[in-house]
Amino acid sequence: MSLSRLSTLAVAACLSLAGIAQAQDTLYFSAIPDDDETRLAERFGAVADYLSQQLDVPVEFVPVKSYPAAVTAFRNDQVQLAWFGGLSGVQARLLVPDARAIAQGQEDTSFVTYFIANTETGLTESEDFPEAARGMSFTFGAKTSTSGRLMPEYQIREQTGEAPEEFFGRVGFSGDHAQTLRLVASGAWQVGALNFTVYDQAVTEGAPEVETAKIIWKTPPYPDYNWTIRGDVDARWGEGFADKVQAALIGMDDPDLLAAFPRASFVPASNEDYAPIEQVGRQLDLLE
């Protein structure tokens, strides 16, 4: 082989390795798919740009198709940072050594689930659990959603002494909060449970669904969404990198970025904040 050929191969190899090194320097993050895919891309594309500027490293958003896929991507180091729900965050941290929750929305310290009903049911809002919904059809959101499944199921059992399948005539899973709202509004399901921020956002935007899907009950508050980071990021990006990410998230004050979540601000969080979620998850056999 000629020297010129060897030189060409050597240069190509160096360029290839440089490309791999650059890819490894990219911080990848994901989020549970609690809304439709287009909306998620809009929300988190801008967040990636913000974090890249604050951290001085390339940051890319990686979309996933399901809640379990978000946890798997985090476990497999396909993403190093994720915007999880309460339960999915617990699941992820149990799978990755030294992973920790670093931030949550101001609203996530006292999150609630709305129970909504199609207006044709005749159900109206009350401070008491809607016993009149007995025998009606009911949809959760995603199967491992904290606000769309875990806490509403817990409250159904607490309030009625029965499993959802015993209290309601038919039980299903819509897949995400926005779909729950659409299905209840259309009458496909009579009653459903969803994240309060999704419903409130629909009200703010004047979405037609809120005309036929009304709030009938609100759960007691609980901790929910959180930013969770892998425990090995300091070894890869330098000592104190996790703290730097936390500071960037807490320092996010652009109204447009915050409105995309929607959150008023982000505040510090720790794994201990989510002990109640872990406890309920184990009670309902949703954690291994």
SS (H, E, C) 71-109: HHHHHCCCCCEEEECHHHHHHHHHHCCCCEEEEEEHHHH
72 vs 96: CA distance, rounded Å: 10
Residue 70 has pLDDT above 50, yes or no: yes
Specify the pLDDT at position 42.
Answer: 78
Q: Which of 21, 13, 90 is nearest to 279 (CA)?
A: 90
Which tens digit of pLDDT belongs to each residue from 255-279?
999 987 889 999 999 999 999 999 9
Element (H, E) at 193: strand 191-195
**Could you identify the residue written with the tokens 């199921």?**
153
- Structure-model confidence comparison of residues 36 and 208, the more confident one: 208
Q: Is the Cβ–Cβ distance between 111 and 223 less than 8 Å?
A: yes
C-alpha–C-alpha distance, residues 60 and 27, integer Å: 6
The whole-number pLDDT of residue 159 equals 97
**C-alpha triplet 100, 105, 106: angle, nearest 5°:** 125
Does the structure show a pLDDT above 80 at 172?
yes
pLDDT digits (tens, 9 = 90+) for 213-228: 999 999 999 999 999 9
Q: What is the mean pLDDT of residues 53-79?
A: 96
Three-state DSSP state, 173 = strand
Average pLDDT score over residue span 133-137:
98
Measured in degrees and rounded to the nearest 5, phi and psi for residue 81 equal -140, 140
pLDDT of residue 7: 41
Asked if residue 227 lies in contact with residue 101, where contact means CB atoms within 8 angstroms, the answer is yes
The tens digit of pLDDT for each residue in 140-152 reads: 999 999 999 999 9
pLDDT at 137: 98
Whether the per-residue pLDDT at 57 is higher than 70: the answer is yes
Exposure of 184 in the CB half-sphere (CA atoms within 13 A): 38
Helix H or strand E segment including 192: strand 191-195
Give percent of the chain with pLDDT exceeding 90.
84
Identify whether the C-beta of residue 113 lies closer than 8 Å to the C-beta of residue 195: yes
Cis omega (within 30 of 0) for bond into 262:
yes
Q: How far apart are CA 73 and CA 189, in angstroms?
A: 32
**pLDDT score for 73:** 98
Q: Residue 23: what residue type?
A: A
